[in-house]
Amino acid sequence: MFSFTRKKPALLGVDISSTAIKLIELAKTNGGSASLFRVENYAVEPLPPNAVVEKKIAEVQAVGETIRKAVNRSGTKAKDAAVAVSGSAVITKVISMSSSLSDAEMETQIQLEADQYIPYPLEEVNIDFDVLGPSAGGGEMVDVLLAASRRENVDDRVAALEIAGLTPTVVDVEAYAMENACALLLRSHGENPEHNVAVADIGATTTTLHVLHDGRTVYTREQNFGGQQLIEDVQRRYGVPRAQALQQVIDGGLPDNYETEVLSPFNEALAQQISRALQFFYSASTFNRVDQVILAGGSAGIKGIDELVEERLGIPTGIANPFGHMALSPKIQAQMLNRDAPTLIIAVGLALRGFD
């Protein structure tokens, strides 16, 4: 029997998307192997319409109350939480600094020089940095990743967590949370991390392509296409309200012509969007191929979508499941978790920050 323990309090990964709150709590054995994580608690709780618009929180109180519902539904007792802002809300820059500087000295120097890199007044932004390693040019310099986001993007997420009774401990960037989870994800898929792997995260209104090489993100692109378009097509075609359309897409019960006249065109459009994003990647980088495509997000649960994308792109394609090498707490329903797995990748990446 494994002993699942923690040296510090649990960190909840809380993903605030356009349509739902995804929350997860993980534990880990002392052995440190990725295969020895365990899912302790998780929940997916739908958000009220328009509470989050284009990845910006429009109704902080509503989002906070929904997070509270997710916490209660999950059964977790953890209070510390990690949350993320979207990549489009963050400015990043790699700069070189002397390796002899302490973290405090680097922070002071970055504050003094930040206006060179950030096109906003410094009092309006939150800034953080991370030392990546020695600079390619050698010498006594190190590469430092500078990240900045407008303060409102961070403050709204912090306020929502506090309304839910949680303590904001980490504010990450979605792309880095995705990268953090991909070590587990690639292991689950048996993929060589040195390969180029494209993860297409299909949200409600946005599809984000993350390309990883050697386990690190080398390209990110957002495109205005998502599962909401399928819901709207169902509403228009069958004259049903949004809530009913969403439920019928998930549970079935639509007319016989749904698959051929509504779902099939959506799937084709999705494959085209991913293909287009990959073409942008090839033209913007020195790479000319990817070895694997992994589909994440709500629309990744559409039956057969991976097979269609693989056929259209000619690239092996699978569905994201970061839990392939994880144990489950006895109270976790494996069937439900597997159904929700593609939507939980960002939340998993955030929860993993608790083991840094």
- 9-23, 131-145, 193-207: segment of lowest average pLDDT: 131-145
CA dihedral 42→184→173→278, nearest 10 degrees, is -120
pTM for this model (two decimals): 0.86
Considering the domain 4-88+153-189+322-355 in this protein, what is its CATH number? 3.30.420.40
Q: Is the pLDDT of residue 2 over 50?
A: no
Write out the DSSP string of 332-345: S-HHHHHHHGGG-H
List every span in the chain annotated with CATH 3.30.420.40: 4-88+153-189+322-355, 222-313
User: What are the pLDDT digits (tens) for 3-27?
Assistant: 344 456 789 999 999 899 999 999 9
Contacts of residue 228, defined as CB under 8 A and 6 or more positions apart, other chains included, come to 18, 19, 204, 205
Average pLDDT of the residues in 152-172: 94
Considering the domain 89-152 in this protein, what is its CATH number? 3.30.1490.300
List every span in the chain annotated with CATH 3.30.1490.300: 89-152
Pairing between strand 80-85 and 167-173? parallel
Output the pLDDT for position 94.
Answer: 85
User: What are the pLDDT digits (tens) for 284-337?
Assistant: 999 999 999 999 998 998 889 999 999 999 999 999 999 988 889 999 999 999
Q: Is the pLDDT of residue 211 over 60?
A: yes
Q: How confident is the model at residue 129 (pLDDT cuts 50, 70, 90)?
A: confident
Residue 101 CB burial class (10 angstroms; 0-12, 13-18, ≥19): middle
Superfamily of domain 222-313 in CATH is ATPase, nucleotide binding domain (3.30.420.40)
Closest alpha carbon to 331 in 32, 29, 73, 78? 73
